[in-house]
Chain A
Amino acid sequence: MGVDLGSTSAKAVILDESGAFLGASAIQMGAVSRAGMRRAIDDALDRASVTLSQLTATISTGYGRRLVPDIGRTFTEITCHARGVAALCPGVRLIVDIGGQDSKVIAVDEDGLVDDFAMNDRCASGTGRFFEVLARAIECEVDELAGLAMAGDRNLEVSSMCATFAETEIVSLLASGSERTDIAASVHRAVSARTLGLIAQVGKKTPVVMTGGVAKNAAAVHFLSSALGVPVDVPPDPQITGAYGAALLALETSGTVVSRPDVEFLPTGQTAHSCGNCDGSTELHMPTVRMS
């Protein structure tokens, strides 16, 4: 099992000894939470029809990784995301992970190993929080943002890197009669610009894969792809790639040699999922992983 206890959500993935998926779960809690972690684990075990005692190895990752009980060891989410995405999207060279309140960029080599990384976990600049601010300001649900942004065609500059001041810029635009679609598009563009800055720290490499909650927003993916000038792909459930990578590492560290799995590379165009369910759980769609 791999457990990713992040800043706003808890994810768990269970694999069998061949690396095939048995079950997975993602719980939105809004903050690092032991309760959320327990729910994610219980939910994944339930879906996998497996009990806790049947697990032979568990690796935890994410900010709360040391809170997870009975773990073999931990790995950082950098290593786990790289491992997971490299398995799901063989040949990937750049991973862009944008979460609720942090973002990171990981450059991987041809073997899927981490070459370099850059993180922003100091402020909301360029993270999912920016989109929450936008949704609040233009009075819509977060999952409506993608549709609005794709319909926008004017570039209204939203230049402040600070989410608080960006909100005041948005209010000003609304007051001067700007369309919500154009505002939404402009904020998406601003987030892409911030992400570009983070990518600049490790260097632009291709192919590019986007993960994290924000990857479920098709407009965010589209605007980043435009800014980079290259296609950006998204795995089927981009939120659990860290937990998946942790599970693969659990397999490796328990002695099973995991060769590169024979995974069909799934295309982009997935619609965004809601991140705001009050019970926190989301339905997941995972590819079948066949071991070669």
Chain B
Amino acid sequence: MPSTFTQAMLTMSAAADSPTDYVAQWKRTTGRKALGVFPMNFPSELAHAAGVLPVIIQEDREPITVGRNLLGEFNCGYTRNVADQAALGRLDVYDGFFHADHCIQLLGAIDVVREDESDKPVYFGQLMSSMSDDWAFPQVLGKMEDFRSELEKFAGRPISTADLARSIDIFDTNRRLMRTIFENRRSGDAALTSAQLQVLVKSSMIMDKEEHSELLRQVTASLNFVPRNDRIRVHLSGHFCHAPKPELLELIEDCGAIVVDDDLFHGTRYVSTDIGETGHPLEALASVYLRRNTAIPCPTRVQHEADWDRFLVDSVYASGAQGVIVLMAKFCEPHMLFYPELRKALEAKSIPLLLIETEHEGLPMESIRTRVEALVERIRRKQLSTV
């Protein structure tokens, strides 16, 4: 497996590790505005069409200090970290904040952002989360129209249909480039580790898309196919809005497992579905919100006919994974709510499952090592016993 980073990987890593440095530099170079966006479904293409840089706010690595007195300690690490970032001025580089998702914990964090960035626009256009209803599409389309007019005010310029179509194409191109890499991994290419794949996705959430696509092309041009070794193949599932720590991904792959597929937000979920050229661009944006959930169901949405549990089983069969490691951000309610259905579905098919709860502060390395190694041992010993 290739282990040398090209300059492109270094550039993307730098953006992923220090988004605010990248954003500050971009603002200096372009003289334009940066928009802080909260995960997951805000239509960044619209913001791009307005000429601003949409950046999905990432969890950073600072220990939570002031945030402990802003949100309860039993809020998920991401939301407490966002509150901390807001309170300590680490979000000052953004000129405004927009979001579309209704996670009650995230709304609490954004209330803190409103308090601490009170001179900046904070706009919530709630996309309804009940996806199966006939009135879902019109509601979402209405919200896209609201987003357009609010973004025009924010950016101080109109967004034409042509602008939006162009931005959609740029974003789709970027998704396709990353999707190819994920598909290669699924088919057996072990050229990139899961930590490296995270760098690609995370930097895409931060950087100018055209710049990022060019870097992706440089990375893929320098990669050769690397066959997998005999590590146990696992599918990583979970973490719907912030990135699992790269050390955790590295630890998993150091314990005798290799990640062959995932349904992480900083993974397959982010790249799964193109908007495409269908109809009016605003309608296409509304439509992709619904189509994306059918493609990879998210437990933060309510869609009766889309079964995340069945999707997971199908993914495991498609990739040849031998087990599933669920990465659950501690206190993530939608995940906790759906988890028993996942467990039931995997047990019914005798697919080994391991649950790892993650937190903002610290990674109990030995504890996780024991669990992952136990999963690997379990799978191997059963393999031997059936020979």
Contacts and interface: CB of A to CB of B under 8 A. Distances in A.
Interface of A: 63, 74-79, 111, 113-117, 119, 121-122
B359 to A, nearest CB: 10
A77 B370 contact: yes
B378 A79 contact: yes
Ranked nearest first, the 8 interchain pairs of A and B with the lowest CB-CB distance are A78-B374, A76-B374, A114-B378, A79-B377, A76-B373, A76-B370, A121-B367, A113-B381
A78 B377 contact: yes
B366 interface: yes
B374 A117 contact: yes
Contacts of A115: 378
A75 B367 contact: no
B381 A79 contact: yes
A114 B367 contact: no
Interface string B346-380: 00000001000000000010110011011001100
B304 interface: no
Contacts of B381: 79, 113-114
A111 B378 CA distance: 12
Contacts of A114: 374, 377-378, 381
B376 to A, nearest CB: 9
A78 B370 contact: yes
Contacts of B366: 63
A132 B377 CA distance: 33
A186 to B, nearest CB: 27
A283 to B, nearest CB: 29
Contacts of A77: 370
Contacts of A122: 364, 367
B385 interface: yes
Contacts of A74: 373
B280 interface: no
Nearest to B370: A76
A75 B380 CA distance: 12
A210 to B, nearest CB: 19
B299 to A, nearest CB: 19
B371 A119 contact: yes
B382 interface: yes
A63 B365 CA distance: 11
Given A76-B374, A79-B378, A114-B378, 6 more contacts: A79-B374, A113-B378, A115-B378, A119-B367, A121-B364, A121-B367
Given A63-B366, A121-B367, A113 B382 contact: yes
A121 B371 CA distance: 11
16 contacts: A63-B370, A76-B370, A76-B371, A76-B374, A78-B370, A78-B378, A79-B378, A113-B381, A113-B385, A114-B378, A114-B381, A116-B353, A117-B378, A119-B367, A121-B364, A122-B364
Nearest to A32: B366
B164 to A, nearest CB: 48
Contacts of B378: 78-79, 113-115, 117
Contacts of A78: 370, 374, 377-378
Nearest to B330: A122
A79 B374 CA distance: 6
Nearest to A64: B366
Interface in B181-224: none
B385 A111 contact: yes
A117 B378 CA distance: 10
A111 B387 CA distance: 14
A116 B364 CA distance: 21
B295 to A, nearest CB: 30
A77 B374 CA distance: 8
Contacts of A75: 373, 377
Interface string B261-290: 000000000000000000000000000000
A77 B378 CA distance: 12
A121 B366 CA distance: 10
A292 to B, nearest CB: 18
Contacts of B353: 116
Nearest to B357: A122
A113 B374 CA distance: 11
A77 B377 CA distance: 11
